[in-house]
Amino acid sequence: MRIDSRGETIMDMQMVCTDLTMLPSTPASSGAIISAGHTEADMAIAPLTITSARERVIDFTKPFMSLGISIMIKKPMKKKPGVFSFMNPLSKEIWMCIIFAYVGVSVVLFLVSRFSPHEWRYEDSFIGPSMANDFSLYNSLWFSLGAFMQQGCDICPRSIGGRIVGSVWWFFTLIIISSYTANLAAFLTVERMVTPINSADDLVKQTEVEYGTLMYSSTQEFFKRSKINVYARMWEFMNSRKHVFVSSYEEGIRRVRESKGKYAFLMESTKNDYTNERQPCDTMKVGRNLDAKGYGVATPLGSNLRDQLNLAVLSLKEKGDLARLENKWWFDRSECRNGDTKESSQNELTLSNVAGCFYILIGGLVLAMVVALLEFCYKARIEAVRSKMSICEAMASKVRLSITGAGDTERARPQYFLPTEPLVSSEGLCEQVNYHTMV
């Protein structure tokens, strides 16, 4: 066989298909690689991870494939939408904040309307004219509910403060309902997969799901030597349960498939991705890679082939041939349906996604209360000048009106005057007119 790179022939080589094993005396290094027949080879092309321990006994070329330690779990059953799945687009904290916002807006609208002179009007009753305000507490709740449901209401604020409250509440409901509607369709139509494990942190925090690695592998050595707290705790867990280690990848993958979600296999991401794309499509990779490393071609120490192979690997990387081959054999020839190996869950909107709407709402409510207070003070001053009383007395009268709904009605009540002579009916008036016109 001839290897050709950059249009030039590098070498002639003879391929020998044989198993690669490690010397039992130094399993951790896995560097002293020999064939099953103990025949020497000029190079070894296999999924050999480049490690410092192996570099002590053999040479490696530049990595031709990047990878890392990943987590394989059994693919969970898809969860169909439930009866109350229409509430899933928004998180629980948002629903609670919406309820508090609804009550808060109603109370602020009630207070603003009570202290604003523009919301008060005269109303005739059987006991005479009296002051009335449309925005009672119940009507304020009804107005806020109608606006939130985008149905409107038969009353509308007339004061500036009340209109500010209504405006910010309408804007708030516009954003919330638009976000909810956009996310609702996905939650009702997409079957969600709930994975109990999503990262290494999730593995550490529980003991129900066991996890292990391949014995005498670079993955096992990584956890054994790691100084990172999470990985050190994972090694303590695995080392205390020797049965979690497996002697081959096939055994580890089989345990994942037969464990009903109670076993996770820590393996190299390349093997993980390849297995997930093959039948029966019942495994999946979760979380990010725990480290970064690469595969390299192994040669004997001091071999002249290393430099030539490095040039070939770099040339293939620059041309994109290695990436193209990886996609071809890993993903383009996948035996699983599109989306089977990916989690299809939709993320609910959290409070951080719509926090700006609540800030605008709170700012608008504060502005409305300030405007209502200014209106109250201005009207009290005008009333004090017109009635020739102190501003404190005028404000006290307005406060009494705002709280009880009754104030100095004698001063504001319209005056009715009785005529000194009885009124003449229209018929009598017509008779008088006819009498005077007769000659």
What are the DSSP E strand ranges found in 100-148?
120-123, 130-133
Phi, psi of 260 (to 5 degrees): 55, 40
Nearest CA to 115 out of 372, 357, 347, 390 is that of 372
Q: Apex CA 7: angle with CA 3 and CA 313, to 5°?
A: 55
Q: How far is CA 210 from CA 146, 216, 402, in A?
A: 53, 19, 67
Relative orientation angle of helices 160-189 and 355-387, to the nearest 10 degrees: 160
47 is in an annotated binding site: yes
Q: Apex CA 330: angle with CA 328 and CA 332, to 5°?
A: 45
Relative orientation angle of helices 391-404 and 92-115, to the nearest 10 degrees: 130
213 is in an annotated binding site: no
> Three-state SS for 384?
helix
- The Cα–Cα gap between 86 and 184 comes to 7
Terminal-residue alpha carbon distance, the chain: 143
The b-or-e profile of 303-341 (16+ CB within 10 A means b, else e) is eebbebbebbbeebeeeeebeeebeeeeeeebebeeeeb
49 is in an annotated binding site: yes
Nearest CA to 364 out of 140, 68, 165, 86 is that of 165
Relative orientation angle of helices 391-404 and 355-387, to the nearest 10 degrees: 130
Q: How far is CA 154 from CA 102, 130, 193, 430, in A?
A: 18, 22, 46, 45
CB 165 within 8 A of CB 157: yes
Which residues have a Cβ under 8 Å from the Cβ of 118 and sit 6 or more positions away?
158, 159, 160, 375
Q: In the beta sheet, which residues pair with residue 366?
A: none
51 is in an annotated binding site: no
Q: In the beta sheet, which residues pair with residue 381?
A: none
HEC profile of 397-425: HHHHHHHHCCCCHHHHCCCCCCCCCCCCC
For the annotated binding site for L-glutamate, the residues are 47, 49, 54, 218-219, 268
For the annotated binding site, the residues are 47, 49, 54, 218-219, 268
